[in-house]
Chain A
Amino acid sequence: MRHTRFRRRRIEEYIFKILMYLSFLLVASSLGFILLTVLVKGLPAMNWAMVTQSPKGGYYLGKEGGILNAIIGSLYLAGGGTLLAFIFSLPLALFLEVYARRSRMANIIRLSLDVLWGIPSIVYGAFGFIIMLSLNMRSSLLGGIIVLALLELPIMTRAMDEVIRLTPPDLEAASLALGATRLETAIHVVVRQVLPGIATAILLAFGRGIGDAASVMFTAGYTDRIPTSLLRPAASLPLAVFFQLNTPFPEVQRRAYAAALILTLIVLAISLGSRWLSGRLSKYAVK
């Protein structure tokens, strides 16, 4: 009797172990499936024209051209958005950790950042659209950059906040004890110490920005030209995927797969690059 009970417990252990393995495999393999699908479908449609030319006449009917406009547009949008977000993020994160720390105020700010992080990008898009309407602005590169900056701000700030929190308190105390002001401590000691974390946060936000479609759809518009001014509309890769997939022509749809492949490669490169970079930069940090 005791023997059978023991066996039942062993079987239960065994079953759940198998279930866990399967779940783990399911999660890991879904990443593989996604990457494989994009690769298998996108690779045959890839050619030099895709990445070196803008759409020519009749491109959306299957004629010649490429999506250089979307690639450049996306880099402008995400680059501009990331830069703008960074200008606010770094001081904000430093403020949270060096000045406000765990005060009530700091926690309220962190909560509102978390709320901002959770707001769907389509809502940011709608919000940006309202503001642009009331300012009588047309959809433009600038509008897209501003909305992406709003979207990226909480991501970047919270990521920086988390790494700055991990600086050894002794380091700050030592700097203050030597007579440095808080500002000097923040800029010369804390920033240098968390440089790898800052780089990772920037790349994380950039990756989020370049992949987002719902927010730029309203605000940046879409165009076949490479934007030459902040006030012109700008194309973007996610929208290039989306619009081309919605056409009834198989050739154009295949180009959507190629665009998806390019977008995925950029995002993967950023994700892996940030790992490599944070490893490189961390040699300047005090362990």
Chain B
Amino acid sequence: MSESSLSFRRSKDRLARRFFWFLAALPIVLVTAILVLLFLRAWPILHTKPLAELFGGRVWLPNKGQFGFLPFIVGTVWVTIVAMVIAVPPCILTAIFLAEYAGPRLQTMMKPLLDLLAAIPSVVYGVWGMLMIVPLVQSIGPRISNVLGVLPIFKSHNPTGFSVLAGGIVLAVMIAPFIIAVTYEVLRTVPSGYREASLAVGATKWETVRYAVLPQTLSGIVAGSVLGASRALGETMAVLMVVGNVPKVSLSIFDPAYPLPALIANNYGEMMSIPLYDAALMTAALILLVIVVLFNISSTIFLRSILGKARL
């Protein structure tokens, strides 16, 4: 059987190794290609318009050649911040509950539940948001505005309910499984000796969590939240469906906003018919990409150093 001779098997292995190395370059090439191509496509507008006008401008009139990205950038950031404020505290508490208090049965039950929550398509989140969250915001908006309207954040000018708050709530539910999963993992890296020592000197369970477990894991939890934020920044369909899509800079959570992903998704159809419009939309994609990649790399490297140590 010459086919299974040693030299044939060896050369097969060598060939495979070469193929593997070629394949290994693929992810790196892809990241670079996406960045470079988007940049090249965005270049026509980046070099004809001053950056201050692009990123500081508030007027978005593609027909007249005015491309101010400020409303979209503010909208993206604002929706993400609202989502984080809503999501982070309950997610951390849930993760603590699962890691420190819950029995093994609940812990094994929670994994499929989080998987399901993460698996639901964003359009379905959008449908849910339109049916449940938007009417909710519509009904509570004016009441909160009446009481707390002196603060610009809570001042409502918008009777519809399609708002930053609606987008933030839907996003909060969408990123919850990520934040909970990462926080849970990070909490599990703390050796049980710390807990035992704390309990042995008479601390209550919560005090143990607060003084022995949380201080060591704080950085990991922050990194996990940043990862969640980077998910929120790029989420398109669900947010698009509930956020109102009005390109105005407003600080009120009851006002509509227009995040960058929604801008791209809503206008790609007509972008080839107006000069510089396609470059403007690709600039939007580029801004989004750069922010998300920065968030992502920093939190991933950080988390890997924490989780990696515990795993190996």
**Chain A residues near B (Cβ < 8 Å):** 9-10, 12-13, 16-17, 19-24, 26-28, 30-31, 33-34, 37-38, 41, 88, 91-92, 94-96, 99-100, 105, 108-109, 111-116, 118-127, 129-131, 150, 153-154, 157, 181-184, 207-208, 210-214, 217-218, 238, 241-242, 245, 256-257, 260, 263-264, 267-268, 270-272, 275
What is the interface of chain A mostly: helix, strand, loop, or mixed?
Answer: helix
Q: Is B20 within 8 A of A122, CB to CB?
A: no
Chain B count of residues within 8 A CB distance of the other chain = 80
Known A-B contacts: A126-B285, A218-B268. Give 4 more (CB < 8 A).
A16-B93, A38-B127, A122-B288, A263-B121
Q: Is B261 within 8 A of A37, CB to CB?
A: no
Q: Is A24 within 8 A of B123, CB to CB?
A: no
CB distance from B39 to the nearest CB of A (A): 11
CB distance from A151 to the nearest CB of B (A): 11
CB distance from B229 to the nearest CB of A (A): 11
Q: Does B201 contact A (CB under 8 A)?
A: no
Q: Does B143 contact A (CB under 8 A)?
A: no
Chain A positions within 8 Å of B28 at CB level: 108-109, 112
Q: Does B120 contact A (CB under 8 A)?
A: yes
CB distance from B165 to the nearest CB of A (A): 16
Task: List residues 251-309 of chain B with CB under 8 A from any CB of chain A.
Answer: 261, 264-265, 268, 281-282, 285, 288-289, 292-293, 295-297, 300-301
A41 to B289, CA, bound (A): 36
A283 to B89, CA, bound (A): 41
Q: Is B301 within 8 A of A214, CB to CB?
A: no
What is the interface of chain B mostly: helix, strand, loop, or mixed?
Answer: helix
Q: Is A120 within 8 A of B234, CB to CB?
A: yes
Nearest 8 Cβ contacts at the A-B interface: A120-B234, A211-B121, A23-B90, A118-B296, A20-B97, A181-B13, A23-B93, A95-B20
Chain A positions within 8 Å of B176 at CB level: 27, 30
Chain A positions within 8 Å of B295 at CB level: 118
Q: Is A13 within 8 A of B97, CB to CB?
A: no
A112 to B26, CA, bound (A): 9
